[in-house]
């Protein structure tokens, strides 16, 4: 039985991924500030403290693979200067702890698989690919620093994969919950002009992508973790309303200025248009279960 050590394992993606890995026969250890039991999950926990730069080395030495998901939620709070610092530091300092722990202790880790995000890319209608430089913006800088902070593991003869993750669609929360809430009230809330392109991924495909990276030695480097068919905001919203079998709903545009008033700097993420290519990961042999928004939403809310 091989062991996977996960940072950020208590988040939406981490929980789904941990469950998948256990079902596939892996031992899973989640790094947590408090090493509390997770009864019934088949998952154990180990303590780490990013601020003190301390980690349970026994757990590290047990790991065959590390999945790095830790980081403060980009949309969780208002982007004050303090919270923007936390968004960056939570990613960079946790990666630094992983790198230094691997460097300073004997281990058998074969590969580190790190989350990143499509916030890397500048807004625009062109199809973005992995070779592009990071956008000169807060989100672009955050992703660049995030990726740079984990890169030194390659100097330790450890494989490295970075997944630039799109908008994750899941029953358990995240972006989909925000779209669903007004529809339950009979309003299909289209954000801004609704033309902005959303590069999304179904939670199951994302988790399977991490598993694929574990099980395929040739998968290294940077990959976009997005579905093959991006969709604009209006199409996603109307499709979701229909899949929820709403007999009556009113399509309603939420003006850009209202979103800026409500969300401040976070409105950039909501209104940004980014069409992102998944051709590189597909070329490795990975196959998506949910290639278009219709099949994804049917699975998540239509059943």
Q: What is the pLDDT of residue 143?
A: 96
DSSP-assigned beta bridge partners for residue 112: 66, 160
Burial class (CB within 10 angstroms; exposed 0-12, middle 13-18, buried 19+) of 17: buried
Handedness of CA 237, 136, 119, 123 (dihedral sign): positive
Q: Is-contact 158 109, C-beta < 8 A?
A: yes
Residue 38: is its pLDDT beyond 70? no
Tokens of 174: 């995240």
Which tens digit of pLDDT belongs to each residue from 239-249? 998 888 665 67
pTM score of the predicted model = 0.92
What structural domains does the chain harbor? 3-166+202-226+276-283 (3.40.50.720)
Which tens digit of pLDDT belongs to each residue from 70-125? 999 888 888 899 999 999 999 999 999 999 999 999 999 999 999 999 999 998 87
């Amino acid at each position: 039985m091989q062991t996977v050590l996960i940072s950020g394992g208590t988040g939406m993606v981490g929980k789904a991924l941990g469950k998948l890995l256990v079902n596939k026969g892996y031992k899973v250890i989640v790094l947590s500030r408090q090493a509390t039991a997770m009864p019934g999950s088949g998952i154990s926990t180990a303590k780490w403290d990013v601020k003190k730069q301390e980690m349970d080395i026994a757990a590290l030495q047990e790991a065959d693979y590390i999945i790095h998901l830790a980081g403060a939620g980009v949309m969780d709070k208002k982007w004050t200067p303090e919270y923007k610092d936390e968004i960056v530091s939570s990613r960079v300092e946790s990666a630094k702890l992983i790198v230094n722990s691997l460097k300073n202790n004997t281990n058998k880790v074969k590969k580190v698989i790190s989350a990143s995000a499509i916030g890397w890319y500048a807004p625009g209608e062109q199809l973005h690919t992995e070779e592009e430089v990071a956008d000169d913006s807060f989100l672009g800088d955050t992703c660049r620093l995030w990726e740079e902070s984990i890169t030194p593991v390659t100097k330790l003869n450890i494989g490295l994969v970075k997944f630039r993750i799109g908008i994750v669609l899941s029953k358990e929360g995240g972006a989909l919950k925000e779209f669903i809430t007004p529809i339950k009230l009979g309003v299909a809330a289209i954000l801004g002009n609704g033309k902005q392109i959303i590069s999304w991924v179904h939670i199951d495909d994302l988790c399977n992508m991490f598993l694929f990276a574990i099980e395929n030695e040739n998968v290294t480097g940077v990959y976009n973790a997005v579905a093959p068919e991006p969709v604009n905001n209006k199409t996603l919203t109307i499709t979701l309303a229909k899949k929820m079998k709403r007999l009556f709903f009113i399509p309603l545009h939420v003006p850009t200025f209202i979103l800026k008033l409500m969300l401040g700097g976070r409105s950039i993420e909501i209104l940004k248009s980014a069409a992102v290519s998944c051709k590189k990961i597909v070329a490795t042999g990975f196959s998506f279960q949910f290639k278009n928004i219709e099949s994804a939403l049917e699975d998540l809310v239509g059943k």
